[in-house]
Structure 1
Amino acid sequence: MSRSAPINIAVRLLMVCKGRVPLPFKRAIVERIRPKQAANLITQLSAEQFSSLAHSMPMPLIAQVVKYLKPQAIRDDYMDLPEEFHIELTQELCGISAFSTAADFANFLSAAQLKVLFFALNSEAYVVSILEHMENLPIAGQGLRGCSTDYLSRLAEEAGQRQQIQAVARVIGMLSMQRQADVCASLTPATLMQLVPQLLPLSNNQLSRYLPPKLLQVIATRAR
């Protein structure tokens, strides 16, 4: 019998017995099989089993497993988990550069939850990378609307340095014209040259009325 045979038998037993299997046994099985196999197993567990495993498994392992999940398949179970879990998992996913997966789960969150999450990450680089992969940017824009001009400027600068300005521009473009102008006024010329061409079409060029003449002069000079 191959070494994996006992594990495969244990997995089948876990599926058949479901809720009657003690939590330590479930956790031991999930921790010993491949992340992709664990992902397939987890999607078939009950909400109670999912929650129990999520609270008992080490976060690095959870991050490896969820990379193979279709987030929509566990959306309700995921949203039942506490906000602290969302933050910790997102931090772990960002730490292993799984930004697409982090964004998939961020898409489920409300504007208020996203604002808390982005601040908790304490990294403009992580936020920029998540925004680049998010589909629900309007909700992200709502979440970031109440952030300070300084914070939004730091996001723009980080995005400019990474040459990933498009998503951040869409978020900033959801602000009032005056706030957009305030953000632009605090940027370095290099970032300004990337951001403003993205912002102007979003406002049908109305933003140019709010930009100080000095900023427009910098843009014109750099464009030559």
Structure 2
Amino acid sequence: MAQDPSLNLAQRLLLASQGIAPLAVKSALVQRLGPEQAARLAPHLPPEQLRELILALPVAFVARTVTRLDPQRVLQTYLSLPDELHLAVARQLCADGAFATAARYAECLSPRQVKVLIYGINDVDHVLQIARHILDVGLIVQSLRTFSTAYLCRLTEAALADDNLALSVLVLGGLPLARQADVCTALSEPARGQVLPALLAGNAALRERLPESLTEALV
């Protein structure tokens, strides 16, 4: 494999050691290089060898590295990693406040895998901060379809507290009308007063799914 001339000597030595040096030695060397140099090196490693190396590295180090790395440059390897590692890294990114990075990597996953992340993160505020940076709103909607009404209410309330009505409307508006009605019915009155008019503006048919007590209040 041709080597990028921008790689330094330590990075080139690590590339040359693939298949020769023990995994523990390579892991230690990568950590000595640091996250920035590791991020520059990662795309040059064969996918299988990169996967093996990532699995041997501390999660905190992986999280610091991916903040400096475009997921598209290591996509094959990233998608081959177990869901448990995706979740562990996402949790660490949330702890580090690197929500934009968590979003970039989450967008590479399937709705099922994003659902696993949401369940595993188990913090509506962190999920909300990740969602703010995800461009593919459809991915969020598909991932949240089977979540309980109570969880969707907590997520909506968190979004409103974060002054993000637009995100709430985009997410809830992508759900089936019956689910939208369930959530609106279960929301606190102040939250419902913000969300419901915006949802009805997007689809007036929602009114037919609402309890009579709510539709009377809208008159």
Give the TM-score normalised by the residue count of structure 2: 0.87
Q: What is the distance in 2 between the residues matched to 1:76 and 1:169?
A: 34
Q: What is the distance in 2 between the residues matched to 1:179 and 1:132?
A: 22
CA contact (8 A) 1:11 1:29 kept: no
Q: What is the distance in 2 between the residues matched to 1:56 and 1:109?
A: 22
Q: Counterparts of 1:123-142 in structure 2 under 5 Å? A: 123-142=123-142
The one-character-per-residue Cα deviations of 1:165-188 (angstroms, maximum 9, x if unpaired) are 322321211222222111011112
**Count of residues in Structure 1 that have an aligned counterpart in Structure 2:** 212
Q: 1:134: Cα distance to partner? A: 1.1
Q: 1:198: Cα distance to partner? A: 3.5
CA contact (8 A) 1:128 1:168 kept: no
Amino acid at match of 1:68: R
Question: 1:20 matched to which residue of 2?
Answer: 20
CA contact (8 A) 1:121 1:127 kept: yes
Q: 1:218: Cα distance to partner? A: 5.7
> In the superposition, relative to structure 1, how do residues 29 and 202 fare at CA in structure 2: closer, same or farther (>3 Å)?
farther
SS in 2 for 1:43: helix
The one-character-per-residue Cα deviations of 1:3-62 (angstroms, maximum 9, x if unpaired) are xxxxx5322211344433332232222212232221001121111221112111111111
State whether structure 2 residue 112 is matched by structure 1 residue 112.
Answer: yes
SS in 2 for 1:55: helix
Deviates more, 1:130-139 or 1:94-103: 130-139
Deviates more, 1:20-29 or 1:111-120: 20-29
Q: What is the distance in 1 between the residues matched to 2:90 and 2:218?
A: 37
CA contact (8 A) 2:160 2:168 kept: no
RMSD across aligned positions (CA): 2.0
CA contact (8 A) 1:43 1:73 kept: yes
The one-character-per-residue Cα deviations of 1:98-121 (angstroms, maximum 9, x if unpaired) are 111111111122222222221111
State whether structure 2 residue 102 is matched by structure 1 residue 94.
Answer: no
Q: What is the distance in 1 between the residues matched to 2:116 and 2:196?
A: 28
Question: 2:189 matched to which residue of 1?
Answer: 189
SS in 1 for 2:44: coil
Contiguous gaps of at least 5 residues in structure 2: 1-7
The one-character-per-residue Cα deviations of 1:172-209 (angstroms, maximum 9, x if unpaired) are 11222222111011112332233224423432x33233
Q: What is the distance in 1 between the residues matched to 2:40 and 2:218?
A: 52
> In the superposition, relative to structure 1, how do residues 208 and 68 fare at CA in structure 2: closer, same or farther (>3 Å)?
same
Q: What is the distance in 2 between the residues matched to 1:178 and 1:200?
A: 13
SS in 2 for 1:97: coil
The one-character-per-residue Cα deviations of 1:89-144 (angstroms, maximum 9, x if unpaired) are 11111111111111111112222222222111111111111111112221221221
Q: What is the distance in 1 between the residues matched to 2:27 and 2:121?
A: 28
> In the superposition, relative to structure 1, how do residues 207 and 63 fare at CA in structure 2: closer, same or farther (>3 Å)?
same
Q: What is the distance in 2 between the residues matched to 1:110 and 1:162?
A: 27
Q: What is the distance in 2 between the residues matched to 1:100 and 1:39?
A: 17
- Identical-residue share of aligned pairs (%): 37
SS in 1 for 2:174: coil
Q: What is the distance in 1 between the residues matched to 2:75 and 2:198?
A: 33
Q: Counterparts of 1:1-224 in structure 2 under 5 Å? A: 8-203=8-203, 205-215=204-214
> In the superposition, relative to structure 1, how do residues 187 and 52 fare at CA in structure 2: closer, same or farther (>3 Å)?
same
Q: What is the distance in 1 between the residues matched to 2:34 and 2:197?
A: 46
> In the superposition, relative to structure 1, how do residues 212 and 33 fare at CA in structure 2: closer, same or farther (>3 Å)?
same
Question: 1:3 matched to which residue of 2?
Answer: none
